[in-house]
């Protein structure tokens, strides 16, 4: 099924990045293959799927294939869907740590794009999701939150930094560090 295929792709991408010396190059190549052969489009389309496992595995693949080129593509073609699924995984009383990790990793990568993209992610609720997840006890989630806040501060520009100040982001930076 498509769900199991996406899970295998995600696992392959994680393993590829772990290859000593060449992992980054292999990962970048896999990201390019995903974009050039319609894989990123497929993943974006499935972010809104009603089938929970299909949606999650699509989000997992997306979180692993956000190379610079793919980030540009996602910002242009699927930003709303990517932020919506990341926000979905960051709300609720009972949290699934694997989903919050994926959601915060997506947001961390999207805040690492441009001033305009940062503003759009903030407007879509991405910053609020990251701040909500700053209360997590999961170290990996907290790393993604710290990365997301640092990226938003560096790439966001003055208008977005004002939004960060309004949301008291500086209060979270030292505990995260």
Encode pLDDT of 69-82 as tens digits. 899 999 999 999 99
CB-CB contact of 152 with 110 (8 Å): no
CB-CB contact of 1 with 39 (8 Å): no
Encode pLDDT of 165-176 as tens digits. 999 888 887 777
Encode pLDDT of 109-134 as tens digits. 999 999 999 999 999 999 999 999 99
- Beta-carbon contacts of residue 14 (< 8 Å; ≥ 6 apart): 64
| Tokens of residue 155, six digits | 């790439």
Helix (H, G, I), strand (E, B) or coil at 39: helix
Whole-number CA gyration radius for the chain: 15
| Tokens of residue 23, six digits | 């992992």
CB-CB contact of 61 with 11 (8 Å): no
| Tokens of residue 87, six digits | 């926000």
Residue 155 clears pLDDT 70, i.e. is over it: yes
Encode pLDDT of 9-44 as tens digits. 888 888 888 888 898 899 899 999 999 999 999 999
Query: What is this structure's pTM?
Result: 0.92
| Tokens of residue 44, six digits | 């974006």
Encode pLDDT of 90-109 as tens digits. 876 557 999 999 999 999 99
CB-CB contact of 42 with 51 (8 Å): no
CA neighbours closer than 13 Å in the CB half-sphere of residue 88:
14
pLDDT band at 45 (very low <50, low <70, confident <90, very high): very high
Answer left, alpha or beta for residue 158, where phi above 0 means left and psi between -120 and 50 means alpha.
alpha
* The pLDDT value given to residue 92: 62
CA neighbours closer than 13 Å in the CB half-sphere of residue 84:
12
CA neighbours closer than 13 Å in the CB half-sphere of residue 103:
29
In eight-state DSSP terms, residue 64 is H
* The pLDDT value given to residue 111: 96
The mean pLDDT of the chain is: 91
């Amino acid at each position: 099924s498509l769900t199991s295929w996406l899970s295998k792709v995600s696992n392959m991408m994680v393993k590829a990045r772990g290859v000593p010396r060449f992992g980054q190059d292999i990962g970048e190549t896999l990201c390019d293959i995903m974009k050039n052969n319609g894989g990123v489009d497929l993943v974006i389309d499935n972010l809104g799927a009603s089938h929970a496992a299909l949606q999650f595995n699509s989000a997992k693949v997306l979180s692993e294939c956000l190379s610079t080129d793919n980030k540009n593509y996602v910002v242009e073609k699927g930003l709303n869907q990517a932020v919506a699924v990341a926000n979905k995984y960051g709300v609720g009383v009972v949290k699934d740590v694997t989903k919050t990790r994926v959601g915060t990793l997506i947001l961390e990568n999207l805040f690492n794009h441009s001033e305009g993209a940062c503003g759009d992610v903030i407007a879509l609720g991405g910053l609020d999701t990251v701040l909500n997840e700053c209360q997590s006890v999961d170290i990996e989630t907290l790393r993604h939150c710290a990365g997301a806040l640092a990226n938003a501060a560096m790439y966001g520009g003055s208008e977005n930094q004002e939004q960060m100040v309004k949301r008291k982001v500086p209060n979270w930076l030292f505990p995260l560090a």
